[in-house]
Structure 1
Amino acid sequence: MVRSAGPAFYHPTVARLTYRALLGRRRALLLFGLPLLLLIISAAVRSLTGADDATTAHLLQGFALGSMVPLVGVIAGTGAIGPEIDDGAIVYLLAKPVKRSTIIATKLVVAIGVTIAFCAVPTLLAGYVLGGNSQNLAVAFAVAAAVASVAYSAIFLMLGVITRHAVVVGLVYALVWESVIGNIVPGARTLSVQQWSLAIAQKVADGGQVSSDVGLTTSVVLLAAVTALATWFAGRKLRTLKLAGDE
């Protein structure tokens, strides 16, 4: 029997199994690859151009926040539950006396932790490499990456529950909507997690290198609402999954 030794929303055994699945050899290579690339690019840019706040903001927004965070979010969010549903292993977990809402909450916590570790921390380091935290840019973008990690984890975890093509859908969302449409089409920026997190970075940064098309209050409300709704919907969909013999 899988026993709970923590709060009702968190199950240590489920968390341990999820961490093990996410940090397996194949996913670990993907998770380490993007942050490592960010740090290599940052070191190269610093050696070639020196410290420049505009360059720092451009790289951290375009690569770190615009590409790395949503892609790592796809890997962590969908990987927290999608493979278990695809291969049928979720049946054994759902057969245990663990609330399905607790399963979702636990997997979300794990996905958030992994995404923050592989996004916010490297973004902070890259900011210091690029400009030594001039204008507080390193901290600002690290905070934005952490906030975005929460929303992305919830969105992609939900996708992992509702579709077997979660990775494909997540990649399309991350690469097309967040990286392209969200940066080009003015109206679409209001519905972009990247823009919402940029509003927080703008608040934290000391200078004018960071700007968002969405106000701070609106961004905070939308980030909280999307995270809550995605988590609720994932739990609701998981409760509708039928085990063999549930007829």
Structure 2
Amino acid sequence: MNTVSIPADAVRVSRRGDVAQVTLCRPPHNHIDIDAVTALAEALEALDRDDQCRAVVLAAEGKSFCAGADLAAREPGVKRDPSPFYRQAMRLFRTAKPIVAAVHGAAIGAGVGLALVADFRVTCPEARFSVNFNRLGFHPGFGLSLTLPRLIGEQRAAQLFYTGRRIDGETAVHVGLADELADAGQVVARAWALAEEIAASAPLAVESTRATLRAGLADRIEAANRHELAVQLQQFPTEDFREGVKAMAERRLPNFQRR
């Protein structure tokens, strides 16, 4: 397997035949920030320009697929603003090659958003999925207000959003959040098997079919994300948001006060 260099330590790209693997390298939990999501976008866009690549596996090192976004301000007193992060994240939805995500461990918040960039998801019973934004005191982001109900239906998406409930890999497959269930040690291998099956089809036909099925989707996700961001920026200064973050750190139920 040959390795392609990407100018960021957050991501590694490997190739074998017609399939490439883009690996998030922020173990153990692969929290993503603007550097990581920019590196992911650059890697996927580079593979779009590579005619030898017909399908992509999206994977991660460590215990978790992605335990969420790291949007903390890097300097004291700097206002929290996820706008640059989301601008880079929206690039992921505009790439052309079919993507199979290998989701092991935790996919939390933006980690679910990242998994939903892919066309398909292979997971394991031990995986945990949660869109826990409301439990933290703010509105979902990463375009999830569109991508999640599009995949699993509005009713199930609403329940997961409102409660922040964690579901395992088996439940994720049952509700349509993931497509295949594999043993924990075989998630990447099964994702590769599906990617190789896709790569065996005619690449021009696959990519044009994908473009037809996803026509206008990236624009709709970006519009949804603009709305998400506007609401988030109103909610980040609230006491409820501070309480949600504190409660998570202290591993207790939050005590929200609507202020």
Q: TM-score, normalised on structure 1?
A: 0.31
- Specify the structure having the higher radius of gyration (Cα): 1
- Larger fraction in helix: 1
- Larger fraction in strand: 2
